Chain A
Amino acid sequence: MDIAQNILLTIMTAATPLLIAAIGELVVERSGVLNLGVEGMMVIGAVCGFAATALSGSPWIGILAAVGAGAVFSLLFGVLTLSLAANQVATGLSLTLLGLGLSGMIGEAFVGSAGIKLASIQIPGLTEIPLVGRLVFGQDPIFYFSLILTGGVAWFLFRTRAGLTLRAIGDNHASAHALGINVLKIRYLAVMFGGACAGLAGAHLSLVYTPQWVENMTAGRGWIALALVVFASWRPWRVLGGAYLFGAVSIGQLHAQALGFGIPSQFLSALPYVATIVVLVIISRDRRLTLMNTPASLGQPFVPDR
């Protein structure tokens, strides 16, 4: 039965970067800002995390560097779209473009160098429990953090006053402004939180998933995270469900191929996308609830003195 545990571990590893990046973007979008630069921030996080780890020898410093780099990089987006009210879609796309190019440049010296893997947790006596030991007590720290992050964000958004303020800004920034809330300040914080999360997701790729640096190593995962947020109708636990479903079908289809069932591999490769969309659309079919959860001023620039 060790194989079941191995498969579940592989699924969780595949889902974790998607989950972290999507949760970050969820907070950004809940505040009414659409940042399409997730892929770019993620790849910047991946390269900075790898580089800092290689230079310092400690993956923890790498993680800090990735989180910091993601946040700083997202600030660029913040200045352009919030202070200068530039178009969010165009700015987000350029952020991805810039991130992919910049990361290639930063990472040139690190291509092919041996990576340092962030060690998984080992608790003597517990990690060795058959069937579930490694699942519950033997994963990498970022995995545990991703669960705390999801719960924390869900609690923050729906159980705290600050979360209510953030959602209010996302729904109607003019009214929030009229109430005396500093819209831009909170949006800046949200954007930087999204950047930090994307950076951490990137670090997971280059320090846990495949401990190495190669150009474009995010391979579209930032876009999948973006899509997850929308299909999960901006709700944290649904994002988690979507990320795990996507991971499970992705890994499941690889196993189906290796078993040699003879199902066309092109169909199997498309399956994670199809399955995730179908399931999330079905659970989000309550239109009233979906409308309630959609940030009404998503993507609209806000200029306070207008």
Chain B
Amino acid sequence: MKKIVFALAATLAVTAGTSALAQDKFKACFIYVGSKTDGGWTQAHEVGRLYAQEKLGDKVETVALENVPEGPDAERAIERFARSGCGIIFTTSFGFMDPTIAVAEKFPDVKFEHATGYKTAPNVTTYNSRFYEGRYIIGQIAGKMSKTGVAGYIASFPIPEVVMGINGFLTGARSVNPDFKLKVVWVNSWFDAGKEADAAKALIDQGVDIITQHTDSTGPMQVAEERGIKAFGQAFDQIQAGPTAQLTAIEDTWGPYYEKQIAAAIDGTWKGGESSWDGLKDGILSMAPYTNMPDDVKAMAEDTQAKIESGELHPFTGPINKQDGSVWLKDGEVSDDGTLLGMNFYVEGVDDKLPQ
């Protein structure tokens, strides 16, 4: 039933959006999985879109469609955009991957950019951010700050991106506390404030004193604030929800990338089939101010961040074992990007069985 409602809303929004547009301007279109004001993942993309719009001024008209569910409805929404004269379409959720590829096949002249996926085509480029760099830093902070030595991780769906985040976090934590443990709870949703809060409560009741999340709402941060424990913001600075709880947040900064790609699409230098994967040094993700922690922990976090930015440190550098104790990376060995992007195993210390 919800899907019907969303599909209707999507259709209406697209129709309304297109009729109001001038014909001569280049059109850049964005598809969001959540609402523009979710205070997390989607809002970060919306901020990026507005940034690109402001920088490029009247050279471009940007349009966004929010609350598009992943799955068949997404394909319809993307196709409507493609038909309505969009020059470039950004699809900003992992679950839009197959729909994007399907629509791109039908519209070879339209350019597509899919976030966080791994499938490309002659007119489909993917872009992603090395979130695991940030997760490694917050893991280190958790390793220093946690008294129980156990952190809780609220996860959305068992896709490589999320598994990579879990492993990045735990690898960071274990670099300062080799016995660190991680409890993982899957809520099977990107956005459900109540359920995410419930998961946070369950984790805290089981003795974790630090939580982090790979879901999009500020529910867990609020619970952390209420119960007096620490947490990390996700995708967006969530300090308002947890003034004394937030240690830092991994902030997504898509704006400069959007500006660059739309400009390239306008002047004809845009290339399909590429995969862009930038990190902290490129500014596509950044860390919110380090707060609510002792100075030595803050200094460590800043030092780690500097080392990752300079390329001196790669978070996934051996020795790292897989969950079952077998060797994944030998001493000094650095993981290749392919393994990370297709990650389907836990590292040692995760107190959970990976859903397959």
Q: Which residues of A approach B to under 8 Å, CB–CB?
A: 3, 6-7, 10, 14, 36, 39, 93, 96-97, 100-101, 104, 107-108, 111-115, 117, 205, 209-212, 214-217, 219-221, 223, 250-251, 254-255, 257-260, 262-266, 268-269
Contact = CB atoms under 8 A, between A and B. Distances in A.
A257 B219 contact: no
A93 B67 contact: no
Given A215-B37, A260-B353, A10 B201 contact: yes
B70 to A, nearest CB: 15
A219 B191 contact: yes
Given A215-B37, A251-B202, A257 B67 contact: no
B218 interface: yes
A104 B35 contact: yes
Interface string B320-332: 0000000000000
A214 B184 CA distance: 25
Interface string B205-220: 1101000000001110
B2 A223 contact: yes
Given A112-B218, A254-B187, A269-B186, 8 more contacts: A3-B206, A10-B201, A97-B9, A210-B222, A212-B193, A219-B193, A254-B199, A258-B183
Interface in B182-197: 183-189, 191-195, 197
A100 B218 contact: no
Contacts of A114: 240-241
Interface in B66-116: 67
A209 B34 CA distance: 21
A10 B198 contact: yes
By Cβ-Cβ distance, the 4 closest A-B pairs, closest first, are A262-B353, A265-B186, A215-B35, A111-B37
Contact of A269 (B8, B187, B205): B187
Contacts of A258: 152, 183-185, 202-203, 206, 208
B355 interface: yes
B199 A113 contact: no
Given A10-B202, A254-B202, A219 B195 contact: yes
B352 to A, nearest CB: 5
A189 B158 CA distance: 47
Contacts of B152: 258
Of the listed residues A104, A210, A216, A262, the one surrounded by the most CB atoms of chain B closer than 10 A to its CB is A210
Contact of B193 (A14, A117, A210, A254): A210
A5 B104 CA distance: 53
Nearest to A220: B2
A264 B202 contact: no
Majority-rule SS of A interface residues: helix
23 contacts: A3-B205, A10-B202, A97-B5, A111-B39, A115-B222, A212-B218, A214-B191, A214-B193, A216-B35, A219-B194, A220-B2, A223-B2, A250-B198, A254-B199, A255-B206, A257-B184, A257-B352, A258-B152, A258-B203, A264-B356, A265-B185, A266-B186, A266-B355
Contacts of B5: 93, 96-97, 100
Given A108-B37, A114-B240, A265-B355, A251 B187 contact: no
Nearest to B199: A254
A117 B197 CA distance: 14
B205 A7 contact: yes
Given A6-B205, A10-B198, A205-B194, A212 B241 contact: yes
Interface in B134-185: 152, 158, 183-185
Contacts of B199: 254
Interface string B23-62: 0000000000011011100000000000000000000000
Contacts of A205: 194
Given A10-B202, A14-B198, A96-B5, A214 B35 contact: yes
Contacts of A259: 206
Nearest to B182: A260
A254 B191 CA distance: 16
A255 B2 contact: no
